Each structure stands twice: as C-alpha cells, then as structure tokens.
Copies of this chain bind each other. A is one copy, B any other.
Amino acid sequence: MEYQEAKDKFISTWGSLGTLWGINKAMAQIQSLLFISTKPLSMEEIMAELKISRGNTSMNLRQLMDWGIVTKELIPGERKEYFSTEKDVQELARHIAKERSRREIKPVIKVLKDVSSIKDDGTEKTRELIKQTKALHDLAETADAMMNKIVNQEQTWITKSLLKLIK
C-alpha cells in the first residue's frame, strides 16, 4: 500500500468512525487530515485535500476548536490562519471523553436521576420504572466516572513524567 492510498484509507475510515465519538463526517475528516499532517494547514489546503467547500471547512473547524482538539496557529508574517490538531493520542482521548461526558452523558444521568426519584405510588408499573431507571442511573454514573478516571489518570501520569523530565 502506497502513502496516498494509506492516507485516504485512514481519513475515510477515521471519518466514518465519527459517529462513535459523536461528530460528523467532515469534522472527523478534517481532524484526521491534521492529525497526520507534518505541519499546520490553511483553510485553502484543507478545502483542496478533502474537496469540501469554504463554508463547510470554516464551520467544522470552529466546531473542532469548540471541542478543544484543534487550534489556530498564527504564522508570523502570514495573513492566513493555519490549523493543527492535538497530536498526542492520550490528550486527544482526554478531550473527547471530557466533552462527550459534559455534552451527552451528564445530562442523561440527570434525567435518569429525576425519573428514578418519582414518588412510589405502590403500583407495579411505577415500581418497575423506578427500579429500572435507578439501575440504569447507577450504571451510567459508574461508566462515566470510570471513563473520566481513566483519562485523567493518564493525564496525571503524563504530567508526572513531564515534571521528571524538567528536573
């Protein structure tokens, strides 16, 4: 497999995996492209590589910046804006996990908590609703906590190693 083929395959596969981490195709593809690029890319370059419109590129870059995984790089003397993504996979995973937790999981946990806290009127169906949503609530909370612990643990480890390097 040649470079170009491997590159295209990577971008389209990673792009289609977007759903797995809750982002759209264009967003995922832009991130992929930046992830394997050896230097920051301009909007023009991204548009050309992925064959998407200026507007699309602009909006998706903004979303990626909202997610905290893409940053603007200002190159001295250049008018254009350049973009690059977090290159460290651990750090990338941390950002993604944190954002997904905040945007999607936490709000659902809140609803599960509310629903499982309704008054038990003694009927079978109410009891079942309470019981099952409570179980789901506990599971969701554990899973969310675990995910955050794992990714933050990684962060601690990285920070520790970094500190060692500095000393």
Contact = CB atoms under 8 A, between A and B. Distances in A.
Contacts of A126: 3
Contacts of A108: 13-14, 17
A121 B3 contact: yes
A75 interface: no
Given A10-B115, A146-B150, A162-B149, A132 B20 contact: no
A113 to B, nearest CB: 11
Interface centre among A2, A13, A121, A124 (most CB of B within 10 A): A13
A89 B136 contact: yes
The number of times this chain is found in the oligomer is 2
Nearest to A108: B17
Given A3-B129, A118-B2, A10 B111 contact: yes
Interface stretch (A35-43, A49-57, A64-72): A35-43
Residue from the set A90, A146, A165 with the largest chain B CB neighbour count within 10 Å: A146
A79 interface: no
Given A1-B118, A3-B121, A13-B111, 9 more contacts: A1-B114, A3-B123, A6-B118, A9-B115, A36-B125, A37-B128, A89-B138, A142-B166, A146-B150
